[in-house]
A and B are shown apart, each in its own frame.
Chain A
C-alpha cells in the first residue's frame, strides 16, 4: 500500500528531455505519442522555467469521472491505470485531464482516434504482470519488479522525483519522497514537523530556513542527518 506520486522541481529542471527519451525507450512508445513531455514557460526570457509533465495519478481522477466505459481504475499503490480492452478512444479524458496526459494514436483516415495511451507510473495495466500482452499495450511493469519509474530514475538533476507520498520517512527508510519534497519546497520547520525523525526534530524544530542553510546545518552533524542529506541530494 502506497500513494505513488511524481514531483517535478521547476527550479532544477534543465529541459534535457532525458525523462521523455527514457520513457519512450523503456515502453517502446510510438512516434507522436508523448506519455511525458517537458513544458517550458517564458522560453528565452529571464525567469524561464521548465517542468516535466505526465499523468499525475490524481487521487480523485477527473479522467475516470468522465469515462463512459469506466476503463480507469486505481491500484493499491494509488496509480491510475486504464484498460485498453475497454477504452473506445472517445477522447473525453483528454478534455477532463488538467495535465494533457491522455494521448491517442491516429488510426486510419479522418483523424479517427485509437485507444488512449498515457503514463502508467511504469506499472503496466490490467493484464498479467510482466506478460507480453501487458508490454505491448502498456509498456514495462517496473513497479511489479520493485523499481520506480525510469523517467525519475534517469533525471540527471533529480528535478523529477517519484515515490510514495505517504512515506513519512521514519528512520529515513524508503524513498524519502516526502522529506525531499518538504526540504525543497517548504523550508526547515515544516519539514521537521512533517518528517517523523527524532534526531531532526530535536535539533531543528522551530527554526525557519532555506534548504541551503539546512544543508549547511546538517553538514558535519550526526550520521542520521547525513543520511537525510544523501536522500535529499
Chain B
C-alpha cells in the first residue's frame, strides 16, 4: 500500500471505561479521522471479515473460487471468516482493492489494558541491593500464570528476610556477545566463531577485583543467591562495568559447578568450546505477561578461584 499501513484494530472495536464518578462509558478503539492513503473508508474500521464485506456491499468483488474457499473454512458461519483465516486471500485482495488495510484501522494504545501493569511502573527485582525500596516498589503479588504459579513476591520477601543482599553484594547482569547466538550451542560449534571467544568469563570492575584479589584473566568462582549455585569462569577486569556491578555472557554451556561435562555429549555433538551457563547463577523471576525469565538483574558474589 502506498504511504504505509495503519494501526491494527487488535483489541476489539469498543471498550467500556470507568469514569471518576463511577459511571461507565463506551469508548471506540477505532481510528478517528485518520486513515491510509486514498481509502474508500476515510475513518476507523474493524478488521475485514466476510460479514464486514457484505455490510459494505464489497462481497460481490470476491470471485466464485474465493467464495468457495471461504465457505469451506467455516461452513456454518462463513460471515465470521476473517482476512487472517481466509486461505484464498480474497478478503485481503478486496480490502486492498478499496484502499483499506485488511487488519482494520484502529488506535494505538498507550494504556495496555489487560496487562498486570497497563502502564509500566518501577518494580524492584527479586534480588535487589536496595532492600529499602522494596516496600515502596514490590514485585507483583503471587499469582498463577500460564498454568503455573509465579511466587516472585514470596521469593522477594524471603530474600530480604534472609539478608541475601549482604551475602551477595554485586549486581549481576547478563547479555550477548557478537560472535554467538542464544544458548550458543550452534555458534560455539563453528570453529571460526569459537576461536574468537574461547572462554566463559565475567566482567568485573577493577575496584571490585582489587578488593577480592582477582586478576584479569584469572579463574574465579561466581556464587548466586539461590540453591548454593556456583560457577567457575575467567575474570575480565574492565571499567565497562561500574563498581558493584558484574556482567556475563549467556551463550555458554557444558560446564556445571566447575566441572567440564564434555564426556556427557553424544559423540560428535559437543561444541568446540564449553563453559559455565549464566543461567546457573541467574534467579527466579518471570515476567507475568510473557513468561520470560529474568536474566538481567540478580545478585552474586565473586571470589578468586
Q: Indicate if B192 sits at the interface (CB-CB under 8 A).
A: yes
Interface size on A, residues (CB 8 A): 12
Residue of B nearest to A45 (CB): B239
Instruction: Using known A-B contacts A43-B238, A43-B240, A44-B239, determine if residue A17 contacts B191 with beta carbons closer than 8 Å.
Output: no
Q: Indicate if A110 sits at the interface (CB-CB under 8 A).
A: no
Which residue in B179, B238, B240 is a CB contact (below 8 Å) of A17? B179
**B191, A31: Cβ atoms closer than 8 Å:** yes
Residue interface bits A167-208, CB-to-B below 8 A is 1, else 0: 000000000000000000000000000000000000000000
Q: B242 to nearest A CB, angstroms? A: 11
Q: Indicate if B85 sits at the interface (CB-CB under 8 A).
A: no
Q: Indicate if A15 sits at the interface (CB-CB under 8 A).
A: yes
Residue of A nearest to B239 (CB): A44
Complex interface residues of chain B between 166 and 191 (CB less than 8 A to chain A): 178-179, 191
Complex interface residues of chain B between 144 and 199 (CB less than 8 A to chain A): 178-179, 191-193, 195-196
**Complex-state Cα separation, A43 to B241, whole angstroms:** 11
**Complex-state Cα separation, A153 to B196, whole angstroms:** 20
Q: Indicate if A74 sits at the interface (CB-CB under 8 A).
A: no
Complex interface residues of chain A between 14 and 61 (CB less than 8 A to chain B): 15-17, 20-21, 24-25, 31-32, 43-45
**B192, A25: Cβ atoms closer than 8 Å:** yes
Which residue in A20, A25, A32, A43 is a CB contact (below 8 Å) of B196? A20
Q: Decide if the interface of chain A is mainly helix, strand, loop or mixed.
A: loop
Which residues on the B side are within 8 Å of A25 (C-beta)? 192
Residue of A nearest to B240 (CB): A44
Which residue in B178, B195, B238, B239 is a CB contact (below 8 Å) of A15? B178
**Complex-state Cα separation, A87 to B74, whole angstroms:** 77
> What are 7 A-B contacts defined by CB distance under 8 Å?
A16-B178, A17-B179, A20-B196, A24-B195, A25-B192, A32-B195, A45-B239
Residue of B nearest to A24 (CB): B192
**Complex-state Cα separation, A16 to B179, whole angstroms:** 8
Q: B25 to nearest A CB, angstroms? A: 50
**Complex-state Cα separation, A32 to B196, whole angstroms:** 10
Which residues on the A side are within 8 Å of B193 (C-beta)? 21
**Complex-state Cα separation, A21 to B187, whole angstroms:** 12
Q: B283 to nearest A CB, angstroms? A: 26
Complex interface residues of chain B between 232 and 257 (CB less than 8 A to chain A): 238-240
Interface centre among A15, A16, A44 (most CB of B within 10 A): A44
Which residues on the B side are within 8 Å of A15 (C-beta)? 178
Which residues on the A side are within 8 Å of B195 (C-beta)? 24, 31-32
Which residues on the B side are within 8 Å of A16 (C-beta)? 178
Residue of A nearest to B196 (CB): A17
Q: B176 to nearest A CB, angstroms? A: 12
Which residues on the B side are within 8 Å of A44 (C-beta)? 238-240
Which residues on the A side are within 8 Å of B192 (C-beta)? 20-21, 24-25
Which residues on the A side are within 8 Å of B238 (C-beta)? 43-44
Q: B216 to nearest A CB, angstroms? A: 11
Instruction: Using known A-B contacts A43-B238, A43-B240, A45-B239, determine if residue A21 contacts B191 with beta carbons closer than 8 Å.
Output: no
Residue interface bits A68-97, CB-to-B below 8 A is 1, else 0: 000000000000000000000000000000
Complex interface residues of chain A between 118 and 167 (CB less than 8 A to chain B): none
**Complex-state Cα separation, A35 to B238, whole angstroms:** 27
Which residues on the A side are within 8 Å of B179 (C-beta)? 17
Which residues on the B side are within 8 Å of A21 (C-beta)? 192-193, 196
